Amino acid sequence: MLKIGKAALCQLIPHHGTMCLLDTVERWDKTSILCTTASHRDAANPLRRDNRLEAICGLEYAAQAMAVHVGLLEQGKERRLTLGYLGAVKNLTLRAIRLDDVKGALTVQAIRLVGEVNSFIYAFRVLVGREELLDGRASIFLKYLDRQS
């Protein structure tokens, strides 16, 4: 599918402003999404603490990619996403300590393993170039409103 910019992808998730961490959707299909971002180097990143962005924050990047993916799949349906929850996280492997000192753009990949109406399980990876910084599996739970609401 076509590349999607920040403004359009931020419309697909409940996060706005600096909390919308992804910059672009490079490609997506029915089961996967590939996003990029440089927000990990932004001093105004809302996840930073004590001038650091810990690698565990990559989980939020992955969760946003999952939510954007679901949002793209839901386009044209008679409901809109209002809230998302990150459920269980399994097999999480961190291969970095921090993200703010990573020089290149982050690539965030999510692959849907299971999908139901309001819940999904994804495998995810966050990379810089070919170097994997973290990976794992996560479940997300979503709440929708009818578009007329």
One DSSP character per residue, 62-120 reads HHHHHHHHHHHHHTTSSEEEEEEEEEEEEEEEE--SBSTT--S-EEEEEEEEEE-SSEE
- Percent of the chain surpassing pLDDT 90: 70
Note the pLDDT tens digit of each residue in 50-66.
999 999 999 999 999 99
Tell me how long the chain is.
149
Q: Which residue has the tokens 């809302």?
A: 46
- More confident: 146 or 134: 134
Q: How confident is the model at residue 149 (pLDDT cuts 50, 70, 90)?
A: very low
- The residue type of 34 is L
Domain boundaries, the chain: 6-146
Model pLDDT for residues 63-116, shown as the tens digit of each residue: 999 999 998 988 877 666 667 788 899 999 999 999 999 999 999 999 999 988
The CATH class of the 6-146 domain is alpha beta
